[in-house]
Amino acid sequence: MPLIDIQWSWIAPELVLAGFALAALLAAVIGAAARGRGASAKAAMGPEGGPGLRLAAALSMAGVALSAILTLPQLAAGSERLHFWGGMAHDPFSAFLKVMVALSVLVVMVMLGGYWRALHNRPEIYALLALATLAIYFMASAAELVLLALAIEFLSLTSYVLVGYLKHEPRSAEAGLKYFLFGALCSAVMLYGMSLLYGLTGSTTLQGIGAAISGPAAGTRPEILLAAILLVLAGLGFKIAMVPFHQWVPDAYEGAPTPITAFLSVASKAAGFAVAIRFFAMAFPVEEIAHHWATIVAILAMLTMTWGNTVAIWQTNMKRMLAYSSIAQAGYVMVGLAALGIGGRAVEAYAIPGILLYLAVYLFMNLGAFAVVIAVANRGGTEEIPGYAGLHHRAPWLAAVLTLFLLSLIGIPPTAGFVGKVWLFLAAIRGNSVLLAVLAVVLFINSVISAYYYLGVVRRMYLEAPEDSTPLSTNRPLVGALAVCAIATLVIGLYGQPLFALAQETAATSTLLHGVTLWQSAGR
């Protein structure tokens, strides 16, 4: 039984990350003050960014890496704890997601070092990324509505600044404004849903809400409960880019600095799914309610993946294509979430582990694709898909790794994407449900649709002549990021069982998430 106590050692990762992030922010402020004392921006930054930028980057990366190391012991079985009167949950589930997000942020920070526009801006972008990571840590552990809302707003505020970071570029400023306005609306909707839940149950903790819904008063005012679920789902849908709350994605992804786009597509999405899994599993353990929310999620999953893939076909900008691809990928992950509520015990070995596995492999293949976008834009000066024509002649290894990442996004063996989709597909077909079977078919059809626009890029790279035959070179940070992502994509694809075994063990030992499956085992 999880203990309810306060042990500051269990939030050591968050404390360490906060300290390093603030130190990085201080380094950025000191660097700005130095520039303000008369040195030109170019002299202060230097050809490699200057000491202020390097110090902020080093502190931010050290904080993220150290926090991940401190999180590793929480992956062990039996480490479940509820702290701060049930407000924060530390278990293998949250630890897995924190380590995964930390790894993705480290790759993004390395990518940022190879992003040409980064040298024209101030070093606080690294501190903001570290603070955004801290917000995701709190989201992964939040087991109480107030903390959950604060963590989501914390991430939103840092994300607004990051998206609009290139403030002198109209696209970036416009993207930041749209992201802020749409995010504020969705946050207000989500908070109203949370207030309805508190009014119905008298508790702000997820366990307390689950106990009230399962208790003697269960079944009272079901229409209000359903409205609350829908409102909270709308707020979470904004974070995971779920249709119809996806409108911000194309403009934000195109206008933001490309490393920040990569961060939003991976880390922010993982945070949204972490909250969704814990929220639904802990707060709604009743069979009838679980079927209601899972049915809604299943329908939205079909809409999300179909809309994302269909619109991606018509895109001519690489970042916008990957933006709609990211929407479709959210629909794929939602298959596992729907299976969790509908299939119950029959799919407990596949649903949450499948989600964790797919998010982990999505990390590498999507970050790798965006790293190639940065490399081509740095030297070729374009983010348009026609600009990739003949890339095989200009940079053979860039064309090769981008092909690998795109094949993985389709889900073609032996890439990591194939392994991830297989487990989501198994979660759907083993749920003994017609709706889940339909969902599995839609998942397969959409994977075929996605092949059209992914392979269209591959065709341009290998079968079309380049407009400019000048060879493209790649800087060292991007080479490192691409190597890590490419190797991981291949290794997981060829030998992914250990990672899935870890995901299974993580889900099985996170007893705080077993609310949905416990009613199945008790009722049969």
Give residue-wise pLDDT tens across range 329-387: 999 999 999 998 888 777 777 888 999 999 999 999 999 999 999 999 887 678 899 98
Count of other CB atoms within 10 angstroms of residue 288: 11
The CA-CA-CA angle for residues 339, 345, 350, to 5°, reads 50
Look at residue 220 in the predicted model and tell me its pLDDT. 62
Q: Which residue has the higher pLDDT, 457 or 80?
A: 457
Report the amino acid identity of residue 162. Answer: L
From 372, 478, 492, select the one nearest 422 (Cα to Cα): 492
> Is 432 part of any domain?
yes
Q: What is the mean pLDDT of the chain?
A: 86
Token pair 């890339």: residue: 391
Token pair in block for residue 439: 């969902």
What is the tally of structural domains in the chain? 1
Look at residue 42 in the predicted model and tell me its pLDDT. 45
**Per-residue pLDDT tens over the stretch 184-224:** 999 999 999 999 999 988 889 888 888 888 776 555 677 88
* pLDDT of residue 94 exceeding 70: yes
Look at residue 524 in the predicted model and tell me its pLDDT. 35
> Is 349 part of any domain?
yes
> Is 6 part of any domain?
no
From 502, 510, 507, 504, select the one nearest 81 (Cα to Cα): 510
Look at residue 229 in the predicted model and tell me its pLDDT. 92
> Is 307 part of any domain?
yes
Look at residue 456 in the predicted model and tell me its pLDDT. 94
Question: Any idea what DSSP says for residue 188?
Answer: H
> Is 21 part of any domain?
no
- Per-residue confidence at 510, pLDDT binned at 50, 70, 90? confident
Look at residue 313 in the predicted model and tell me its pLDDT. 95
Look at residue 349 in the predicted model and tell me its pLDDT. 79
Range of 363's domain?
A: 286-524
The lowest-confidence range among 40-49, 445-454, 489-498 is 40-49
Segment 110-138 shows an average pLDDT of 83
> Is 336 part of any domain?
yes
- Per-residue confidence at 39, pLDDT binned at 50, 70, 90? very low
Task: For the full predicted model, state whether its pTM sits above 0.85.
Answer: yes
Highest mean pLDDT among 45-49, 187-191, 281-285: 187-191
Look at residue 76 in the predicted model and tell me its pLDDT. 78
Look at residue 305 in the predicted model and tell me its pLDDT. 96
> Is 33 part of any domain?
no
> Is 317 part of any domain?
yes
The CA-CA-CA angle for residues 6, 7, 13, to 5°, reads 125
